[in-house]
Amino acid sequence: MGGHVILLLFITGVMAQKDLEGNVFLFPEQNDYSSVILKPVESKPLRKFTVCLQSYTELAKYPLFSLATHKHFNAFLILLSPGSKVYVYVGNEEIYFKVDLTHIEWKYTCVSWDSDTGVVQLWINGKRYPRKVAKKGFTFPASTSIILGQEQDSFGGGFDKNQSFAGEISEVHMWDYVLSPEKIQQVLIKKLNGNIFSWRSLHYEIKGNVLIEPSLQYI
């Protein structure tokens, strides 16, 4: 799908699998009901992965990516507070990275984790921050709930308006391995697509007031 098509999706439970190149998910406002549910190509246990996605917002603190399991509601959560920190949760364990991203601009965020070492890596707009360690030896089960736009306080729900997203999200990808620095650079120029889910063939379900709009980003 090219950038010339405008889709307005307000109906709860809209399901689709599409190439979203040139488009964004637009969350018009913070609330406790609007979200995008992501459906992996294959559900399987994970011991390592990388998640990448772009965001554009005026919010001071917001959830970017929320993965819950039946035992861990913050099994994997990326929470940005651009003026000071990026929080990453793995198996409910919190770590944070000190950042200074006060400008309102598109942010391409990538986070990887490897169970063998517990190493967590954060990349923003191609810049890598000092590595941290969390949940060495942990395994993510096959059954997960993956959501954009909300922070999950229960499996697939428990939403709070103050823990929601407003703005634009695009270029959402996930891999079942840790990307090398060279691969991260390929992601930034749209030369590498995820194998768990990919923006070029995304299986998703929209809940509440979320729009699909052409991207106005030209970089």
CB 61 within 8 A of CB 167: no
Say if pTM beats, i.e. exceeds, 0.75. Answer: yes
Predicted confidence at residue 1, as pLDDT, reads 37
Task: Enumerate the domain spans of the chain.
Answer: 26-214
pLDDT digits (tens, 9 = 90+) for 156-201: 999 999 999 999 999 999 999 999 999 999 999 999 999 999 999 9
CA 145/CA 75 separation, integer angstroms: 10
Split at pLDDT 50, 70, 90, the class of 202 is: very high
Mean pLDDT of the chain: 92
Class of domain 26-214: mainly beta
In 10 A of CB 39, how many CB atoms? 14
The arithmetic mean of pLDDT across residues 46-68, rounded, is 96
Predicted confidence at residue 218, as pLDDT, reads 62
C-alpha triplet 169, 173, 174: angle, nearest 5°:
135
Say which residue the tokens 């890596």 belong to: 121
